[in-house]
Each structure stands twice: as C-alpha cells, then as structure tokens.
Amino acid sequence: MKKINLLYLLAILAIISGLLLYYLPDMTSGHNAESNNTSQTFKEKTIVHDFGTTELKKAPKRIVILDNLYGEILDPLDITPVGATTGRADSQEFSTLFKKQYKDAKVVSVGWQGNPDLDKIAELKPDLILMTGEQED
C-alpha cells in the first residue's frame, strides 16, 4: 500500500513540475500562497505533459517546492509556499536566501531536496508541487 502511495505521489510530482510556467501568471499576488485574492478570474487549463494530461480547474493556493529554484521564481511574485525542501541533507534549515521569510511565514520543511519526505508533503495537502526533472525518480 505504501509503495502504491509513493508511486502515485511521484507521478503527481512529475506531472505538476511541468505546470509552473504555464499558469503562474494566473496566480494573484499575496505574501502567502493561501492568501491569494480569489476575485481574480482563473481560466481552466489542460496541460499536456509526458505522463498524459492534467486539467487545472482553479489556481493553486497551497504550494510545496522541492527545489530552491522555485523559491526564487515565487518570491518576486510575493508567493510563499506552504512547504519547501532544504538545500542540504544534513540540515533542517532553509536556504539563507529564504530562511527568515520562510520562518516568519511558518513554511514547513519537507526534508532535503535530494530525498524529500513524501509523508510530510502529503500532510500539507498541496494543490501544487513544484520539482525539477532530476527529481522524477
């Protein structure tokens, strides 16, 4: 059962990673991804990717990032994820670039980006998980 959940989550991670650039412009500004203004109109989208298609019916509000690259993309948009990975395996701290911001926003560490804690990610119930192509395994 746990293996099926892991495979399911990994497939979802791979699918969603390709979606970032497509619909980020539809997300509203707001310091925390959960505090986005819901009055903005979001247009439903169908994304075609290596694993098939994914339909986006609403803008994501709970985002987990599995690489600091996405923190650098989201930061200028005033979007703070609900969960993020650390840059080093031997540390529970976020990158120096985001350390204070993530602490103030109570962003949850989901482990090292080379081996994220899938159970912790699932507990956060993200609408969107952003990862790099190298993390598909």
Query: Residue type for 120, please?
Result: K
- Distance, in Å, from the CA atom of 131 to the CA atom of 123, rounded to the nearest integer, reads 18
* Number of alpha carbons in the 13 Å side-chain half-sphere of residue 117: 16
**Where does the pLDDT of residue 74 fall: very low under 50, low under 70, confident under 90, or very high at 90 and above?**
confident
The more confident residue out of 31 and 111 is: 111
Instruction: Determine the CATH number of domain 2-135.
Output: 3.40.50.1980
* pLDDT, tens digit (0-9, with 9 covering 90-100), for 36-70: 444 467 888 887 766 677 787 888 889 999 888 88
Phi, psi at 135, each rounded to 5°: -95, 5
Please determine, for residue 125, whether its predicted confidence score (pLDDT) is greater than 80. yes
DSSP 25: G
For residue 87, what pLDDT is reported?
Answer: 76
Task: Give the 3-state secondary structure of residue 115.
Answer: coil
CA dihedral 71, 44, 59, 93 (to 10 degrees): -30
Q: How does 34-43 read in b/e, with b if 16+ C-beta sit within 10 Å?
A: bebeeeeebe
